Structure 1
Amino acid sequence: MRVDAQCNTVGAACPGCGTWSARVHSSYLRFPADAPSAGRRVVLQLRVRRFRCRNSMCVRRTFVEQISGLTRRYGQRTERLRSALAAVGLALAGRAGARLASLLGVSVSRSTVLRRYPPRPRCTVRRPGRRGGAQPSTEFEPALPSCRYSTR
């Protein structure tokens, strides 16, 4: 099944400075992978526009419109497929997750399934702060499985 789509907004906001621009620089096609529908492979052909930033002080001269809920910068998959792979990866991980994904009609490797894990918060470890007070750590690390430590 092939779906041709394009955004029909007048312009877009620059991600660098937030300035609204309606000046189109160019357009091109993106083909993000999408989850199958009714057991059939979906080929999404998305025409996106590249805009010129009107702010002369902005470090970005051009930027591409992003369709919220569908794409993200440098993304090869739609948000729907990303969330489905994250759920499969969280439930089964590795090889088993890749086998289930292939049964669902999505061809991915076990490494890709593992990379789709949503980042999980690390343990709240008290670290020394300024003036002797302790501050909780709020770093994220996706590979940390649990917050249990052994003292053996």
Structure 2
Amino acid sequence: MASKTVEAVLFPGIDVRVERVSDSSNVLLVEAVSTVRPGRCPDCRKQARRIHRTYQRDLNERSLGSRRVIVRLQVRRYFCDRKTCSRKTFVEQVPGLSERHRRSSTRLTGWLRSIAIELGGRPAARLCRRLHLVAGRTRLLRLLTAPMVPDRAPRVLGVDEFAFRKGCTYGTVLVDVEAGRVVDVLPDRTSQTFAAWLTEHPGAEII
């Protein structure tokens, strides 16, 4: 398989160059190099000019049949030359492929998040095993994004408790009854925590 074909299949529209593909019975290892333009410091947004060093990141990608796919991506760490910036170096990210602090590709992370949203923790983990995806229950749940909490409480606020761990740890879920959506989740079920939330989020007429 030619490199151009691999790039077109695995990295459409993504700025990488495939160097080598190693195929085994269980894993397809794709070695690639970032070709993105120098990025900006994530703190001060200054354009990078000097390379600190290069190194490799291993990213899990979506499986190919029964084989895992690992992208061994060579990226650059840059200096931030703005003296007032507290960040001295930073690592480039490849849009559409890599994200900070993640060991999965952007596309695989999107897959896992969708599975977690639909199935939750343990059922999602079982499906991932069948799909040859490396993702446990805890990791899947961490991909779920908390809803944006409005500044004001909804007019009709529903309040109910639930168990993080039955018989041990309880929380409180707050719902906009008219819109039919979750507003916030409180870490316990005490009246003090709920009263503090109401103070910070005025506006409820019916509870």
- Regarding TM over 0.5, the answer is yes
- CA distance in 2 between partners of 1:9 and 1:112 (Å): 29
Amino acid at match of 2:42: P
Residue-by-residue CA offset, 1:23-45 (whole Å, 9 max, x unaligned): 11101110022221233210110
Give the equivalent residue in structure 1 for 2:117. 90
| 1:9 to partner: Cα distance | 3.5
Structure 1 counterpart of 2:52:
25
Deviation at 1:55, TM superposition (A): 1.4
**CA contact 2:97–2:107 (8 Å) conserved in 1:** yes
The equivalent residue for 1:15 is 42
Instruction: Report the equivalent of 1:147.
Output: 175
CA contact (8 A) 1:31 1:43 kept: yes
Task: Give 1 or 2: higher strand fraction.
Answer: 2
- What residue in structure 1 maps to residue 202 of structure 2? none
Q: CA deviation at 1:145?
A: 6.2
Report the 3-state secondary structure (helix = DSSP H, G, I; strand = E; otherwise coil) of the residue aligned with 1:31. Answer: strand
Q: CA deviation at 1:124?
A: 7.0
Question: Partner of 1:13: helix, strand, or coil?
Answer: coil
Cα displacement (A) at 1:92: 0.9
Correspondences of 1:23-102 after superposition (within 5 Å):
23-102=50-129
Higher relative contact order (CA 8 A, sep 6+): 1
Amino acid at match of 1:103: R
Is 2:144 the counterpart of 1:117? yes
Structure having the higher Rg: 2
Q: Cα gap change, 1:148/1:11 in structure 2, threshold over 3 Å: closer, same or farther?
A: closer
C-alpha deviation, 1:147, in angstroms? 1.1
Q: Relative to structure 1, is the Cα distance of residues 144 and 42 closer, same or farther in structure 2, using a 3 angstrom cutoff?
A: farther
Unaligned runs of 5+ in 2: 1-27, 155-170, 178-206
- 2:172 and 2:142 map into 1 onto residues whose CA distance is 13
CA distance in 1, matches of 2:134, 2:100: 22
C-alpha separation between the residues in 2 aligned to 1:99 and 1:145?
Answer: 27
Contact 1:24 1:50 in 2 (8 A): yes
* SS of aligned partner of 1:68: coil
Deviation of 1:50 (Å): 0.6
Alignment of 1:122-141 (within 5 A): 122=149, 125-126=152-153
